[in-house]
Structure 1
Amino acid sequence: MGDFLPPACFNMFVSDEHRMWQTSNILETELPMLAFQIFFTVLVGRLLFNAFRPLHQPRIISFVFVGFLLTPPLLGNIPEVFGFIYPVNGILNVEVASHFGLIYYAFLNGLEMNLDTILKSKKEATSIAAMGIIFPILTGPGLYALHRKFYINNTFKLEQVSSHAYLIWTLVLTVTGFPNLVEILSELKLHYTSLGKVALTAGMISDTYNWILFTLLVPFSIDSSNAIYSVLCTVLFLTVCIFLVRPLLKKIIERKTENDEWDEYQLLFVVMGAFACSYVTDILGTHAIVGAFVYGLILPHGKFADLVMSVSDDFGGGFLAPLYFSGNGMRLIIKSVFSHANWPLTLLVLILLCVTKILGTLFATSLSGKSARDGFAIGLLLNTKGALALIMLSIVWDKMIFFAPTYSVLTAAVLLMTIVVSPMINFMFKPRKRFEQNKLRTIQKLRANAELRILACVHNNHHATSMINILELFNATRLSPIHVFGLYLVEITQRAAALVVAHMEPSTQLGVQSNLTQSQVESENIAFTFKALGNNGDGNGNDAFRVETTSVVSSYETIHQDIYISARERGTSLILLPFHQQLSSDGNLLETTNVVYRDINKNVMQDAPCSVGIFIDRGLVTFSQTCLHILMIFVGGPDDREALAIAWKMAGHPRVQLSMVRLCLLDEAAAAAEEASHHSEEAEGILSNAMDNDKQKELDDEYISKFRYTAVNNEDYISYSEADIRAGEDIPRVLKALDQRGCDLYVVGQGNCRNSILFSNLLEWCDCLELGVIGDILASNIFGTNSSILVVQQYGFGGMKLERKQDHMANNSRFGSLIVKAE
């Protein structure tokens, strides 16, 4: 094998020179071949993506490896296989299709970037991004010189020394792939941390700088004689696009978006603008993707961008662009890296290529006062490469600026930089069990004058309104304040980077919602609803409540992990979840809104880092309308003690009346409880091994005695009573009798840790296991209560054990997740 691969030639036969298509019918020859190549690339890419998933690799890596599989070390040793998948006469079609996909990929990258966020970014992120570019620029030429000095091979020759090679080599090292950075952060669930937010902002800024450098310098690496004219004409074109075309398009698009006038044909004409701009920049001497990127950048963001990506992302980014990136893998001749005597020194150069950006980031973060560990982590994250680096490598290969050894060394370094990021960051910041037995995050263990922190999870503004009603009951005072974190749960349905940018932006005025995506509008409404929490005339004032609203964007399959992270980082004692059913339009029955919400609740309850409450809202009224009556039903166990602690705290509100009823197990029910005590080891958890049935009963009696002595004997608005349960059929009868007395809110324990065969048998008949026996009976439409219900599970006893398979989850796990704060 020589300096570079020889050109491939094949014969073309003209069947009819008078037709537009002078060769044979392309629908019978070229099109099936192209469809098979796309199918092969996407299928193998998906398989490799799933194989790499434990390592949290971005999708682009799997597509590069599709091409690498067809190189000589692997399937490339079998010419028949490569010839069958990529016959010589089909290469041109693949190149054309892949470049169409690349142009559209660049257009989407521009569409998901936001100049406002970049311009308003903090100096810390800007300095980190700048130093991450300056250091590679300073060290890159020296590393290229070392590579040339160390590489001695008679089979594979190096390219001639040129300024073009030095320039591209250095530019590749400066690149940060923002979409891949978002994908990695969302997979590792680090967006909630300050480190993740800094890396995210710095990555966006760095990616923007990279595009500017690409536009200004790549023409000099292609044709240095006319490069200055290409750059000046391109800058003039970009100026016209930004200052003349953008205002015109913005006015038209916003008007049509506000009136919902878009259809598929009109969107097609908008998308064709990306190819028109690509054609212009290609004519001017810069790369075609520059025009597509700028066109996406000048279009209005928000609702319109969300619409465009939702209808076309899968085709452009999911089918055509992978063809282009697989081509990078096909050109990777790994044999050229190791087939010479000095290969260890070449390997050393490859490793040094991976640390230049990290060193620059470490320098910048040290000046801002961050620890070396955080600086190293940010450097690793910003070292993530993406499409722009692969595009530069394709350019130098096509222009023969790099020969096989240099191309392979730099491509291998780009892949290594990206591949090692996720495993190393995961190792450095892997969540660990940080909660000990004496630090249980429960309301029962919370000091009387301590701040109560509650994470209120919502899927829409209706849930937020319901949460406000239940949160008002927690009796916030200046001496015992409450810090509420409203967490808006958003499902990922499109490119992760676009959602990151959308929820990174500061909240806009509610009156200007035509440009916002549906999730942004909902986020605005939810934030507005939570802000009103401290102003409802309860007499406590704003100092009693502190409210923050946050968005978490994730696939529903893993969103419970983001809820865990949010609860841990904020030190909450209670996670409030909305029930998956809500009142029907006539206000009589509970109807399922989204069954996936139920799966999320189940997942949260299995391993939550604090206590959990599920709120079933049946129209709980506010204090401005009436005083509220709470009925707390106590059977026994840690969940019931936590539920009593919550009801007790609510009873401190001057407009709340609390009735506590203890269900006493007698006769058959008591015998069942004694028999179940032999199986107490089934309740796995932090304290379960030390908690047998007698100990649980002792704790129950102790806490109830404290409650009766402290509260019942001193307050007229708190009452205590008991009801006997002798058999399973007594439970619905007693509950029905209690419901006839009337109440506004039931507070009950989930009861997962009750050592009772009586309740275990009843649990088999429950429709909603997450509510427990008592909660399921009260929530059923057959029971017929009009009262709202709060079902509580205490932290520290292993969570809820589920035997039913979670089969309702949406199968949308393309990306992981991300959490960003909304001001």
Structure 2
Amino acid sequence: MVLGDERLGYKIIVGENRIDIKVCFDDKVYNASKWTPDPIVTTIPTLFTETITQVAISSILFLLLKPLNQPRVVSEMLAGILVGPSFLGLYPELSSKFFPVISATMLENVTSFGIIYYMFLVGLEMNLTPMLKIDKKTMMNAMMGMILPLAVGLGSYFLIIPPLEPGQAVLPKLRSAFVWAIALSATNLPDLTGILADLKLMRTNIGRTAVASSYVTDITTWFFLAILISISSQGHVLRMGISTLILVLFSAFLARPMLSWIIAKTSKGQDYKETHVQYVLFGVLISAFITDALGLGSIMGAFLFGFSLPSGQLASLITERIGKVMSWVMVPLYCLVNGTKSNVPTMIPKGRSIKHVILFMAFAWAAKVVSIFFVCLKPNMRRPREVFSLGVLMNSKGILALIAINVGRDLHLVDMEASTVMVVTILVMMMSVPPIIKYVYRPQGLMMRHKIRTIQSTGSESTFRILTCIHSKHEVQGITSLLQMSNPTALSKISAIGVHLVELTDHSSAAMLIMHDTCRTKGNHQQSTEAKSNPVIEAMEEFGRENNGFISVECMTAISRYTTMHVDVCNIAEDKRAAFIILPFHEQGNGKDEPEDIDTHSIRNMNMQVLSNAPCTVGLLVDYGLGKLNNGMNSIIMLFIGGPDDREALTYAWRMVWGPNIHLTVVRFLPGDGAVDPIPLDNPDESEGILNLLESNERQKELDNEFIHEFKHKMADNKSVRYLEEVANSGDETLATLRNVMEKNDYNLCIVGKGNKRITAVESGLSDLIEYQELGAIGDAMVTSEFSKTTSVLVIQHYNTTQQKLKARGGNRVLESRVLGSRVF
């Protein structure tokens, strides 16, 4: 069979077995003098053009499919198919300009080189430690969930190949069917975790089960690939099998300890250098060369080398250096090469029809779902909706499935039509996962709201649950210092939930951070292995061990895109029943070390979203070196103007003052005789008119007076507390008074309320000067003015001000009266 266009100067000759392919070039067009005389002039520019085209098309498709929560690999696979013979190949003149056949060899060689390092990164993120910590039940479910897809893959393969002729051997076809069985049983962990993160299901039981099961199936898939390569070697099955077994055992039990010892001796306790990264990358090539020489393929050696390298700082450094290049460039190119080998219009095999292809896809899609039903649907175990959702999630394929198919092509086990059907089936399965899960699975736990949780509602003899959000290590000291100042006692212990917020990337390292969190060792006495590779978690766990008496620390890592990260924060706060969320401000003060390279704009947007949707009180910490400036005594100032936020802020300061070495100054700002409250003209809520807002403001003043009266009464004999009242008729006078107060003493921490919907002459005119709306008028003045560059600022927002109105308008009075009646610290 001859394909191609003679006008373009080449012919593609396909053998009768539909596997062997030869490309013949016309001597008149591609003679010896014209056949790539200078690669810099011909092949390299073509490679650049192909790369730019593929990346651009896949990026556009990703933006178009983003509302459907489609993973990036879907857009990359679609782009590869579109620029291949399925679409662009229908227009030979256009195709020859962008993707000439003469450049195919260079493109495939570059892609093969890149996929070696990509598979090294995949192996780098997989080690036996998390796998050994997966419970036996999940392990068995994952293994049993692969048996039926393997059987379905073996059987359904015969639907997409020409019918067997009488007397034709079945054994060679079984090896070909094994290729599809491996691709069907695989579940790609990076793409699965990306889907779970986008749909905010990572913290659900289904999400955790899917991730753990996928981790097992990924490693098992590589084991099957090694078996496939071994049994496909003609005349060398025994030698290949023994070589594979020796390599796997050597990588798992000998190479890893040896590499750990070499790395420890080389680094000598110091930070790793670029030379260490160079040595490792060179080792990847050596390992790939060895396995390729043995006939196992270069990607197997790269994967095993990454699997052998211990996780830690060096692994993180390597991932940081090459991870984005692999995800953004090499993976799209791999999908491009895969697309050029797939011809959708001609994929129906001889003797088969579209019905056979549809039936094949239906079997493939249902295999995982049915197998999960058999394994998980037991009495009192899971609801059918959850089991169905778990089965659909396990249909998340990706690069791993494509690699299995391409290995079958390279071993001459899969023909053109069958491989194209497989690729299209993988694409359909991937595209169906997000919309089905989004429609079917709605976890009830995330939709429920518990009772109101604030600092005021936390009893004096109950555990104070605080959720701390941390983006980088330089924020840890301020957070831990604030926790220490929060007065943990034997009756009112502090339960701190330290959440390391990490931006979700397209590489598997983000996915494996979540796996490390899922498999984390519980308890504060034992440091988990995974924490050693995460400085933030390590620092928080160290703080927990140092304060094991009255402060307990639970650490976790939350991976998400910044646009939806606030959902994770709010869900974790709801799940952990936190009464207080502490967020670091997106810009840190001059008392800190140089901040890491983080996206401050995205962090600010996330903070504002948390303030709007949090299920409890929120504190925004602007750290100017909290914990570094104290000499045994912490001096705190609380600025009180009025409203629910200020009462909540004073409650927190009230709790602190009972702790050791704490000195508290409370400054209340009162309007003078000539002060006039401003009239709200800035469009209040539709359901709350101006008159109702003014009436609510008067009720808030009454509550303020009651709260301050009780505070003064309880603190009358406490020499660590000083109470001041200052009079101001306008915002300018307030700022002048505040400057004088701050210049008289050095304070470690200033606590203020955000002051949502507050109407008072004390702040009149300040709204036009606010730079950071999330800090409120007074908090913004403290941060942006030259009052003090050594005083950290904590801006507190009460829960009631972040949500829609709760029940009747008298609810706030009833709640706070009940809380005030039992206030004892």
Same fold at TM > 0.5: yes
- 1-structure distance, mates of 2:122, 2:359: 34
- 2-structure distance, mates of 1:606, 1:211: 46
Q: Deviations over 1:567-595 (max 9, x none)?
A: 2222222111234555646x9xx998875
Q: 1:348 to 1:449 in 2, by over 3 A?
A: farther
- 2-structure distance, mates of 1:628, 1:454: 20
1:667 CA drift (Å): 5.9
Question: What SS does the corresponding residue of 2:134 show, helix, strand or coil?
Answer: coil
Equivalent position to 2:545, from 512, 517, 531 = 531
Equivalent position to 1:285, from 295, 307, 313 = 295
Could you say which residue in structure 2 is the equivalent of 1:783?
787
Q: 1:93 to 1:581 in 2, by over 3 A?
A: closer
- 1-structure distance, mates of 2:370, 2:300: 29
Q: What amino acid sits opposite 1:642 in the alignment?
A: E
Q: 1:707 to 1:529 in 2, by over 3 A?
A: same
- 2-structure distance, mates of 1:757, 1:343: 76
Map residues 176-215 of structure 1 onto 2, 5 A cutoff: 176-215=187-226
Equivalent position to 1:727, from 727, 730, 735 = 730
Equivalent position to 2:483, from 467, 471, 490 = 471
1:529 CA drift (Å): 1.3
Equivalent position to 2:175, from 164, 167, 186 = 164
- 2-structure distance, mates of 1:575, 1:552: 15
Confirm or deny: 8 A CA contact 1:708 1:720 kept in the other structure.
no
Could you say which residue in structure 2 is the equivalent of 1:442?
454
Q: What amino acid sits opposite 1:33 in the alignment?
A: T
Q: Does 1:374 pair with 2:386?
A: yes
Q: 1:75 to 1:740 in 2, by over 3 A?
A: closer
Q: Does 1:328 pair with 2:338?
A: yes
Could you say which residue in structure 2 is the equivalent of 1:809?
none
Q: Does 1:487 pair with 2:493?
A: no
Confirm or deny: 8 A CA contact 2:752 2:778 kept in the other structure.
yes
Which ranges of structure 1 fall in alignment gaps of 5 or more residues? 17-21, 153-158, 536-541, 801-823
Moved more, 89-98 or 315-324: 315-324
Question: What SS does the corresponding residue of 1:37 show, helix, strand or coil?
Answer: helix
1:702 CA drift (Å): 2.8
1:566 CA drift (Å): 2.0
Q: Deviations over 1:494-519 (max 9, x none)?
A: 64245445656657999x99x98996
Confirm or deny: 8 A CA contact 2:111 2:330 kept in the other structure.
yes
Moved more, 521-530 or 182-191: 182-191
Could you say which residue in structure 2 is the equivalent of 1:9?
24
Moved more, 646-655 or 402-411: 646-655
1:732 CA drift (Å): 1.8
Confirm or deny: 8 A CA contact 2:86 2:342 kept in the other structure.
no
1:43 CA drift (Å): 2.3
1:414 CA drift (Å): 1.3
Give me the CA root mean square deviation.
4.2
Q: What amino acid sits opposite 2:295 in the alignment?
A: G
- 2-structure distance, mates of 1:314, 1:341: 42
Could you say which residue in structure 1 is the equivalent of 2:55?
42
Question: What SS does the corresponding residue of 1:704 show, helix, strand or coil?
Answer: helix
- 2-structure distance, mates of 1:296, 1:372: 38
Q: 1:688 to 1:656 in 2, by over 3 A?
A: farther
Confirm or deny: 8 A CA contact 2:155 2:177 kept in the other structure.
no
Equivalent position to 2:280, from 270, 277, 290 = 270
Equivalent position to 2:607, from 601, 609, 614 = 601
Confirm or deny: 8 A CA contact 2:454 2:579 kept in the other structure.
yes
Q: What amino acid sits opposite 1:334 in the alignment?
A: V
Map residues 441-460 of structure 1 onto 2, 5 A cutoff: 441-446=453-458, 449-460=461-472
Q: Which has the higher contact order (CA 8 A, sep 6+)?
A: 1
Confirm or deny: 8 A CA contact 2:612 2:802 kept in the other structure.
yes
Confirm or deny: 8 A CA contact 1:437 1:796 kept in the other structure.
no
Q: Does 1:569 pair with 2:575?
A: yes
Q: 1:187 to 1:668 in 2, by over 3 A?
A: farther
Confirm or deny: 8 A CA contact 1:461 1:526 kept in the other structure.
no
Map residues 130-169 of structure 1 onto 2, 5 A cutoff: 130-145=143-158, 162-169=173-180
Which ranges of structure 2 fall in alignment gaps of 5 or more residues? 4-13, 165-169, 805-825
1:123 CA drift (Å): 0.9
Q: 1:174 to 1:794 in 2, by over 3 A?
A: same
1:206 CA drift (Å): 1.0
- 2-structure distance, mates of 1:668, 1:223: 95
1:532 CA drift (Å): 2.8
Equivalent position to 1:752, from 734, 753, 756 = 756
Confirm or deny: 8 A CA contact 2:504 2:559 kept in the other structure.
yes
Q: Deviations over 1:511-555 (max 9, x none)?
A: x99x989962342122111333354xxxxxx3xx43212223445
Confirm or deny: 8 A CA contact 2:582 2:621 kept in the other structure.
yes
Q: 1:786 to 1:408 in 2, by over 3 A?
A: closer
Could you say which residue in structure 2 is the equivalent of 1:156?
none
Confirm or deny: 8 A CA contact 1:336 1:404 kept in the other structure.
no
1:130 CA drift (Å): 0.1
Confirm or deny: 8 A CA contact 1:129 1:205 kept in the other structure.
yes
- 2-structure distance, mates of 1:437, 1:263: 49
Confirm or deny: 8 A CA contact 1:227 1:285 kept in the other structure.
no
1:631 CA drift (Å): 4.2
TM-score normalized with structure 2 length: 0.82
Q: Does 1:521 pair with 2:521?
A: no
Map residues 306-317 of structure 1 onto 2, 5 A cutoff: 306-317=316-327
Q: What amino acid sits opposite 2:796 in the alignment?
A: V
Confirm or deny: 8 A CA contact 2:629 2:748 kept in the other structure.
no
Confirm or deny: 8 A CA contact 2:148 2:368 kept in the other structure.
yes
Confirm or deny: 8 A CA contact 2:211 2:515 kept in the other structure.
no
- 1-structure distance, mates of 2:293, 2:627: 67
1:79 CA drift (Å): 1.7
Question: What SS does the corresponding residue of 2:670 show, helix, strand or coil?
Answer: strand
Q: Deviations over 1:352-375 (max 9, x none)?
A: 211212222233333592333333
Could you say which residue in structure 1 is the equivalent of 2:713?
712
Confirm or deny: 8 A CA contact 1:453 1:574 kept in the other structure.
yes
- 1-structure distance, mates of 2:631, 2:269: 39
Confirm or deny: 8 A CA contact 1:277 1:292 kept in the other structure.
yes
Q: 1:258 to 1:693 in 2, by over 3 A?
A: farther
1:701 CA drift (Å): 0.9
Count residues in correspondence.
770
Question: What SS does the corresponding residue of 1:383 show, helix, strand or coil?
Answer: coil
